Amino acid sequence: MFEDKLREYAALTEACLATFLQDVQGSEVGEAMAWACQGGKRLRAFLVMESAALHDVALDQAVYAAAAVEALHAYSLVHDDLPCMDDDDLRRGLPTVHVKWDEATGVLAGDALQSLAFQMLTRPDVPAEARLALIESFSRAIGGQGMVLGQAQDIAAETAGTPLTLEQITILQRNKTGALIGWSAEAGARMAGADVTAMTRYAQPLGVAFQIADDILDVEGDTEKTGKRVGKDADAGKATFVSLMGLDGAKAHARQLVGAACDALGPYGTKADNLRQAARFAIARDT
């Protein structure tokens, strides 16, 4: 059932994205935006849509928030891949935006995707108070208190005199990766005007577990499956969950975190089984 829902929500999200992206086609930046939005697991969109279903929010209302988080995630990847950041040439099995076009187009396409994400969140399909809550929490999750802060911390760590500790890496990744995952999981409750506490408790360990899985894939993964270069962390001497805990230790820690995420959904009973499956998928994936 989880895999069926993942495909269903991905299709709905991609159709919504395509509608908005039509308005920018015909320009180089528009083509680059569409290029950047191709592919991906759409797990963040799934979290938005499933949390919405859990809180009795109609999918035709929730899909705009799902598309917004995927546009925002695409922006973050475009900028993360730039030469001044991680300098990657492959993403989702395709040349990165700055490789296919140029660095300036990568910067501008990312900027435009971020703007598009906010545009999607202003849709009147969601009540005004809930819309404001979504936009305010989105701003915090992606900015200097969340994702951008995490990226800055990650860049600083690469040139630090001493490797980060496990606690420091956990804080970094809660910002860089976990903040957007957290917003996605909480979105349904916010749209319904409900308490987000249980969804926050679910998302916090999930975000860290997701990053641990990425660290493991950088060691064990295959470029053809992951769609991006592997082995970069070790080559750069970067401190990761794997480098500090070892493969077996990192895998065990990820399983513990997923268990904690699933336990946090207790108040929802079996209605949250798809979200439990999503947590297990986050560490079992090969992409």
What are 117-153's pLDDT values in tens digits?
Answer: 999 999 998 899 999 999 999 999 999 999 999 999 9
Q: State yes or no: pLDDT of 234 exceeds 90.
A: no
Q: What percent of the chain has pLDDT over 90?
A: 86
Amino acid letter at 259? G
Q: Backbone phi, then psi, for 42, in 5-degree steps?
A: 60, 30
How many domains in the chain? 1
Give dist(CA 250, CA 273) in Å, integer.
Answer: 25
- Where in the sequence is the domain holding 101, given as residue range(s)? 2-284
3-state percent breakdown (helix, strand, coil) of the chain, nearest 5: 75, 0, 20
Element (H, E) at 94: strand 94-95
Q: What is the CATH number of the domain that holds 196?
A: 1.10.600.10
Higher per-residue pLDDT: 220 or 118: 118
3-state secondary structure of 125: coil
